[in-house]
Chains A and B, each alone.
Chain A
Amino acid sequence: MLSIRDLRVEFESPHGLIMPVDSVDMDILDKETFTIIGESGCGKSLLANSLLGLLPRDAKVSGKVHIDGEEILSLKKKEWRRIRGNKIGLVFQNPSASLNPVFNMHGHLYETLKYSNKPSSRDKMVSLLKKTGIKNPLRRLSQYPHQLSGGMKQRFAIALGIATDPDILIADEPTNGLDVTVKLKIVQMLSKLHSERSILLITHDLNVAYNLSDKIAVMYAGELVEIAPVNSFFEKPIHPYSSQLLVSHPEKEMLPIPGFTPQLTQRPQGCRFHPRCALASRKCKHEHPGLEKIEGERYVRCFACA
C-alpha cells in the first residue's frame, strides 16, 4: 500500500545542516493502522507532512515513497494535487488552527468535495458528519469553527480528512489537548473508521496507540528505533527507549524520560539514545546501529538487544 524507504528531511539551519527525519523505512499495509509514537520534536509531524509534499520551501526531502506502486517524492509541484486528499488525507494536529476561521462547515466540506470530484450534496455532507459522530449535522453545517467545542472541531477535522475518501488517512495527534471523556469518544470513532482504510496515526498517547493500532513504530531523534505488532510491543518492548516509555508511565500517559531529547543540532555520535540508556556499551557510543529484523515482524535499532 504505502512503502517508505530511506526517507530523509533536511534543512539548512544557522548551525549547519539538520536532519529532523533520518532514513525512515516502513510499510503500511492495506486497511492497517500504523502508529508512530515518540516525544514531541522527534520528527513525527514533519514525516507526515513530507508524505504530502507540504514542507517549507527550503526543506530537502530524499528517499522513495511508493503508494500503490507509484513513486511520489519525485512528483512535480502540480502533480501533488492528485495525491493530496485523493490518495492520502491528512488530519492536522490542533484543529483550531487547521480550520479556516472565515468558512463555516458547509464551506469547508463543499470545496473539499467539489475539488476532489466527489458529489458535494448536502446528504453526502450530513453522512460524513454523522459518521464522525457529530450530532445535529444539518444545523452544524452553517456554523463556524469558533462556535464549535474542541472535540467537535476534531471530529469535523476528521470528517474533512475522510471526505475525499483517501486510501490512507494520516491522523496527527488527533487527541491532543482534549479532555479524557472527549478523547475516549474520538478514539471510539476512529476505531470505527479503522476497517475502511489504512491509517497512519501519530501520537504520543500510549493509550490511544494501544487501542487503535495494528502496528507500532517508535521514533526517537528523527529515526525509527523499533517497529512491532501492537500486542507484542505492549507485552514486551525491546528497545531500551520503548521499555522506558512503557515502564515510566503507569497511567499510559507519556511523560518525559530522564535526560534530554537531543537537539537537532547536537545529536550524539553512535546510537542517539546512548546518553540516556542503561545498557549502553562502548560500541553504542561510537557506532550507529541499523534497524535490524529480529523476529517475525519486529525490527529494532539497538546493539544491546538485537
Chain B
Amino acid sequence: MIKGIINRSILIGLILIGAVLFLALAAPWLAPHDPQQTNFEQRLLSPSSEYPFGTDHLGRCILSRVLFAARISLFIGASVIGISFIAGTMIGSISAYAGGIVDEIVMRFVDGFLAFPSMFIALAIAGIFGGSMTGLIIALSIVEWTAYARVSRGSVLAVKNMDYIAVSRMMGGRAPYILRHHILPNITSPLLVLSTLGMGNVILAAAGLSFLGLGVSSAPEWGMMVNEGRLFIQSAPHVMFFPGIFIVITVLGFNFLGDGLRDIFDPRDTKQRWRLF
C-alpha cells in the first residue's frame, strides 16, 4: 500500500513542479540580469556564457525573463484554480445539497457555460478587459469553475443519501456542519485530481491568451515572449524556444502529478486480478 502511494508519475510530476517552483521563487537571486533591462547593442544574441539563453529583440536577457515569468504563470494558475475551486465547490455542493429548483437552475447555468468552447469565452472576456492580469484571471476563472461545480455536485449527491449522513441529520446536525464534516472530506480526492490537471490547463490557456496579446504585458510572460520571438524565428529561434520549453516543463509537471493522483484515487487497474476470488 505504501509503495502505491507514490507512483512514478507522481514522482516525476513533483520533481518538475518543485524545480519550476524553486526557479520562480529564487528568480531574483538566480537571474543574471534585470529582466526588463533593454540594451540595443546586445539585440538577438545567441546563447553565450553571459546570456545563457541569449537576448531578445530589445537586448533583454532571456534567461532572466524566463525565470521571472515562471512567477507570473504559477501565480495566474494558482489564483484561477483557487477562485474556481472555492466558487465551484461551494456552488456545486450547495446546489446538490439544496436540490429541487435551486439545483435545476444552477445546473442549467453550468450547462450553458459548458456549451461554449472555453477558449472563445475566455478570449472574449479577456479581450473586453483589454489585456490585463486581472482580466486574464477573471476570464479563466469564469470558464474553469464549472468543472468543480459539476464534480462536487456529483460527489455530494452520491454521498448525500448515504446512511451516515441521514443519521447525522437525525441527530440534529445542521447543514453547514454536515457539509463540512461529512461531505467535503469525501469529495476531496476527485477535486484534487481536477485542480492538479486544471493548473496545467490554466497555465497553457493563460500563455495562449498572452500570446494573442490579451494577457499580461507589463511583466515578462512566457506566451508573450513566444509572440515577441516569432518575428525572429529564422534569425534567432532561441528567442521563442526557451519560453516555450518552460511552459512544456511546467505543464508536464502538473499533468504527470494529476495523472499519477488519478491512478491512486481511481485504482481501476488493480481491481481485475483480485476480483476472481
Contacts and interface: CB of A to CB of B under 8 A. Distances in A.
* A touching B, CB within 8 angstroms: yes
A58 interface: yes
Nearest to A13: B274
A45 to B, nearest CB: 7
> Size class of B's contact patch?
under 10
A187 to B, nearest CB: 26
Interface of B is mostly: loop
A58 B270 CA distance: 13
A187 B273 CA distance: 32
A20 interface: yes
A41 B277 contact: yes
A45 B277 CA distance: 8
A264 B277 contact: yes
Contacts of B272: 56
A58 B274 CA distance: 11
B162 interface: no
Contacts of B167: none
Interface in B247-276: 272-273, 276
A277 interface: no
Interface of A is mostly: loop
A46 interface: yes
B232 to A, nearest CB: 54
A56 B276 CA distance: 9
Nearest to A43: B277
B273 A20 contact: no
A11 interface: yes
A56 B277 contact: no
Nearest to B276: A46
A20 B274 CA distance: 11
A296 to B, nearest CB: 34
A58 B277 CA distance: 14
A56 to B, nearest CB: 5
A46 B273 contact: no
A59 to B, nearest CB: 9
B276 A58 contact: no
Contacts of A14: 1
B4 to A, nearest CB: 9
A178 to B, nearest CB: 22
A149 B273 CA distance: 29
Contacts of B277: 20, 41, 46, 264
B276 A45 contact: yes
Interface in A9-63: 11, 14, 20, 41, 45-46, 49, 55-56, 58
Interface in B194-213: none
A56 B277 CA distance: 12
B182 to A, nearest CB: 31
A183 B277 CA distance: 25
B216 to A, nearest CB: 49
A58 B273 CA distance: 9
Nearest to B4: A14
Interface centre among B1, B273, B277 (most CB of A within 10 A): B277
A51 B276 CA distance: 15
Nearest to A12: B273
Contacts of B273: 11, 56, 58
B6 to A, nearest CB: 16
Contacts of A41: 277
A46 B277 CA distance: 8
Nearest to A264: B277
B49 to A, nearest CB: 53
Contacts of A49: 276
Interface in A60-114: none
A18 to B, nearest CB: 9
B268 to A, nearest CB: 15
Nearest to B3: A14
A168 to B, nearest CB: 21
Nearest to A40: B277
Contacts of B1: 14
A305 B1 CA distance: 44
A89 B277 CA distance: 21
A62 B1 CA distance: 29
A46 B276 CA distance: 7
Which 9 pairs between the two chains have the least Cβ-Cβ distance? A56-B273, A20-B277, A41-B277, A46-B276, A264-B277, A56-B276, A58-B273, A56-B272, A46-B277
Interface of A: 11, 14, 20, 41, 45-46, 49, 55-56, 58, 264
14 contacts: A11-B273, A14-B1, A20-B277, A41-B277, A45-B276, A46-B276, A46-B277, A49-B276, A55-B276, A56-B272, A56-B273, A56-B276, A58-B273, A264-B277
Given A49-B276, A56-B273, 4 more contacts: A11-B273, A20-B277, A46-B276, A56-B272
